[in-house]
Homo-oligomer: A and B are copies of this chain.
């Protein structure tokens, strides 16, 4: 294992704790609250009103309408509101996009310049004091509820970049019952995001990391099993609970400890959704099996790990040369059965005029990935995603 330093101080309330604990969790930091939310669902479900009632002794300023692939303009508006209203604490109620936006707002509240500078300069972001963040999670996907990361998009520059703040959320409320109304398509996209976080950390060159790889395999089996159940019956609480805790566990930092390599598919997908604003999980679902196929085909030394993936995650048996590609086929089939469009044209990317520019942008992040990828390799993977299947 590679040396590492790890600390994660987020307090998790899993289950039915919101009514009893939310007010104290928020007001321990003060009474001027910036309430960050996304679309209409938080109103439709009654959650917005419930939160307002529970925080009746606070002064709430709203930052509403944060979009998927959250945009830097929302962060700028949040920065303005936080400064104007002397905000003490940021409460994010939503999924990963809302939480990510809230995190950068919490830093930008203490920053004089434009918040995009905090996105492109991770060190600057980490060293800027950050307001405390409380989250109420409504979608199992990104793990943002228990890590310090955030991904923000800048439509003007076609950039979608990850940054990191000084802290993880102080408190996160994870109640699976809040996710029973998530539509099937969003459940599928969220589940793919979970699965991708796990594969990004699993496919790593560190040879002596069985403890971590074993935990990842268990979490992979959990999302593989429960995503179809939740898609079929959104009210299945066992499915929603397992997906929620799997999502948080997958990206609270522990599953990459001791690793060597950078991620692959997220870099390629971030460029895709920066250009086309597609759903992050959908982009990952299209790219991931093509990336796996490319890696195994290009580098036979990856066969043992793909075979382990096949045996321990997909329950396959047989020799390595058979199990390794079969695991990739199983991955493709599982994603497809979740209801995903499996090609780029199916999500409206019918031309390839941006492939060269996107591949060049993605490749800047892929020099230390599991299989290092240059712009030509990324283009090959994008092009493979133009037609169904693994070819």
Contacts and interface: CB of A to CB of B under 8 A. Distances in A.
A345 interface: no
Interface stretch (A85-93, A237-245, A267-275): A237-245
A241 B9 CA distance: 24
B225 A210 contact: yes
A7 B9 contact: yes
Nearest to A237: B208
Contacts of A157: none
A198 to B, nearest CB: 11
Contacts of A10: 7
A21 to B, nearest CB: 8
Contact of A258 (B208, B213, B241): B241
A217 B216 CA distance: 10
Interface centre among A218, A220, A237 (most CB of B within 10 A): A218
A183 interface: no
Interface in A47-94: none
B17 A208 contact: no
Given A211-B222, A215-B249, A242-B211, A17 B5 contact: yes
Interface string A5-27: 11111111111110000000000
A16 B1 CA distance: 11
Nearest to A175: B3
Question: Which of A17, A210, A219, A254 has the most B CB atoms < 10 Å from its CB?
Answer: A210
Tally of this chain's copies: 2
A158 interface: no
A213 B214 CA distance: 11
A226 interface: yes
Nearest to A246: B211
A215 B242 CA distance: 12
A2 interface: yes
A242 to B, nearest CB: 5
Contacts of A215: 214-215, 218-219, 249
A237 B1 CA distance: 9
B208 A214 contact: no
Contacts of A122: none
A221 interface: yes
A6 B1 contact: no
A17 B6 CA distance: 12
A155 to B, nearest CB: 36
Nearest to A12: B6
Contacts of A7: 9-12
A349 interface: no
B6 A11 contact: yes
A36 B242 CA distance: 41
Contacts of A15: 1-4
Of the candidates A11, A17, A245, the one having the most CB atoms from chain B within 10 angstroms of its own CB is A245
Contacts of A226: 210
B258 A245 contact: yes
Contacts of A12: 4-7
B217 A249 contact: no
18 contacts: A1-B176, A4-B12, A4-B15, A7-B9, A14-B258, A208-B237, A208-B242, A210-B218, A210-B221, A210-B242, A211-B218, A211-B242, A211-B245, A213-B218, A214-B215, A214-B220, A216-B218, A249-B254
Interface of A: 1-17, 176, 207-222, 225-226, 237-238, 241-242, 245-246, 249, 254, 257-258, 317
